[in-house]
Amino acid sequence: MNGFVKIRLQSLLNKTAISTLTEATFSQGGNVLILSPHYDDDVISCFGAMTKHYEQGAHLDILYLTDGTTSKDSGLTKEELHKIRKVEAANAVNTFFKDVNLEHFNHEDGHFAMTLEDVTRLSKLLQEKQYDYIYCPSITDTHEDHKETYKLLRQALLESGLKCTIRLYEFWYPLKKPNVYVDFADCEEKKWESIACHQSQMKYLNYVELAQTVNAHRGLQAERKWCEVYEEMSSAKLIWDLVPSLKASVVIPAYNNEAYVAIMLKALQRQTLDTFCWEIVLVDDSEDNRMTQFEKWELPNLRVIEKEHSGRADARNVGIQNSRGEVIIFMDSDMIVEESFVEKHYASHRETGSDITLGKVNHICHEHLEEVRKLVLEDRTKELEAFVMKDEYLNLTPIVFQNKEAADNIGWVCCLFSNCSVRRKVLDKAGVFDVIFKGWGLEDIELGYRFFKEKFSFSYEEDIANYHVDHATNSQQMLVEMGRNLKRLSKKHPDAAIKSYMSFVAGFKDLQELLCDVAKKEIAFDNGSGVYFRPISYTKSKA
């Protein structure tokens, strides 16, 4: 029996991807909780980590969820087996650790289903002890008692509000995405002795050999002799999807530009809006899913969505589909935001009643990337203003929104989704991005035009600012892609407003002429008179 289980276990381990593992750290002192669905899960899965914490002066608590009565030991009643298993568990721990608090919930082994009382009891324990670390099985484990323990912890964390480090452990089913390891070569014999204390179970299955199979394989991955591995995360990350509703979702498509994304996420880490009110949906449209590296960042409200490369429009649509916010904020992956960016976007919809809010986009040349990175890392984003350059198209927005009739009729011309927020109901009615638009420009203008046709309201808030760190681009390619997308736009909307817009972006009409064409009447718009867009000089400025 033991040989078959070892072969099966080794097969499962061989299928696991070798992820990037870093060595786990252990702070001085503190309180540590190990959630053990069964009487032997703690020492089999976590003995090495328990030893490291103990050596650092931490206080250990172990909570056993079930009673051990489904374990194998013929001829014994459930009551007798429960007593034996309980004594074995105590010996396995107390032989090597002093003053460990052992708690018992005594659910039937193999049939653990958490109750409201369990959630309340564990939540109270979390509040009283204020644990620094909690060890728990993963939801990917195949044993139902292990899965239920994971669910219990999440509910108790949500109720207690405890903020701590979570380490999900593996038993006989390997973790899919471990990220830290514990090298326990200095206490390996103690671990095997501790496991061997469970004599009633060792009669039927050699748990020591099975644990050695797992720990040797993980040691090979970490280039050590013996290792335990864990999936480490914050408690906020663990319970994120239990938060019932969100105020805002920030949707960001990303393509092969991880250096820019790193700077962008650093700025988003400092938002004034409470973390549990909003989320970041980073859509990885790269060709090699390189953005998954950011899942390891301490951003509990960040989700990275992997997809095949298909362009910005489709990536944003995937982000919308995977978002939960009442308001959806759009920005690009090469943007840097100020600390009140998300809060101001959400507040603008409540205070002005607008359906679509446009913020101010400041353009920074790619040549200043290193200076920008330094300022963001030092939390000096306000100093980015010194690097801002004029952008002919971006400068249209404040001009348009100085005039109410202009804002009402041609606000959609300024609908750039590099700094834009939309009520979810607007997208439900008007639809999402049209994926026929490929390359540079116009997928956002086309959606903005649909908003306009549905009579949704636009507003412009100059104090909701972000900074666009531009890329070096091929101006000729930009012109070609823009031309193709203009043809797609005119084919989809063969009406007078779009024809006039095409004349405007070609440099033949000024902003006032565009307004009068769209409004179908003469409107005094002095600020728009003589304001032209010159595509050739514009694209050259991006090179």
Same domain, 202 and 348: no
Same domain, 212 and 254: no
Q: Of 305 and 421, which is predicted with more confidence?
A: 421
Q: Which of 185, 218, 238 is the last residue of a domain?
A: 238
Q: Of 402 and 537, which is predicted with more confidence?
A: 402
Same domain, 68 and 107: yes
pLDDT at residue number 11: 56
pLDDT at residue number 3: 54
pLDDT at 361 over 70: yes
pLDDT at residue number 440: 76
pLDDT at 152 over 60: yes
Q: CA separation (Å) from 202 to 71, 207, 352?
A: 11, 6, 69
pLDDT at residue number 426: 96
Q: CA separation (Å) from 420 to 254, 334, 339, 489?
A: 17, 15, 16, 21
Same domain, 386 and 338: yes
For residue range 241-300, list pLDDT tens digits in order: 777 678 999 999 988 777 888 888 888 988 999 888 899 999 988 776 666 666 666 677
Q: Distance (Å, rounded) from C-alpha 214 to C-alpha 141?
A: 14
- Across the chain, mean pLDDT equals 88
- Say which amino acid occupies 375: L
**Domain containing residue 121: CATH number:** 3.40.50.10320
pLDDT at 362 over 70: yes
The overall longest dimension of the chain from CA atoms, in Å, is 97
Same domain, 228 and 248: no
Global confidence as pTM: 0.68
Same domain, 349 and 478: yes
**Of 165, 147, 143, 146, nearest in space to 238 by CA:** 165
Same domain, 215 and 279: no
Q: List, in order, residues 6 or more apart from 431 with CB less than 8 Å away.
A: 447, 450
**Domain containing residue 496: CATH number:** 3.90.550.10
Q: Distance (Å, rounded) from C-alpha 462 to C-alpha 217?
A: 56
Q: Please spell the DSSP secondary structure of 289-300, one letter per residue.
A: -GGGGGGGSS-T
Same domain, 125 and 22: yes
Same domain, 231 and 328: no
Q: Which of 220, 238, 256 is the last residue of a domain?
A: 238
In terms of residue numbers, what domain contains 465? 243-542
**Of 298, 301, 314, nearest in space to 250 by CA:** 301
Same domain, 432 and 506: yes
Q: Of 541 and 528, which is predicted with more confidence?
A: 528
For residue range 431-477, list pLDDT tens digits in order: 999 999 887 778 999 999 999 999 999 999 999 999 887 766 666 77
Q: Percent of the chain scored above 70 by pLDDT?
A: 91
pLDDT at residue number 4: 45
Domain count, the chain: 2
pLDDT at residue number 14: 55
Report the half-sphere exposure of 4 (CA within 13 A, side-chain side): 3
Q: Which of 178, 205, 238 is the last residue of a domain?
A: 238
Same domain, 155 and 259: no
pLDDT at 487 over 50: yes
Q: Distance (Å, rounded) from C-alpha 543 to C-alpha 529?
A: 28
pLDDT at residue number 215: 96
Same domain, 230 and 373: no
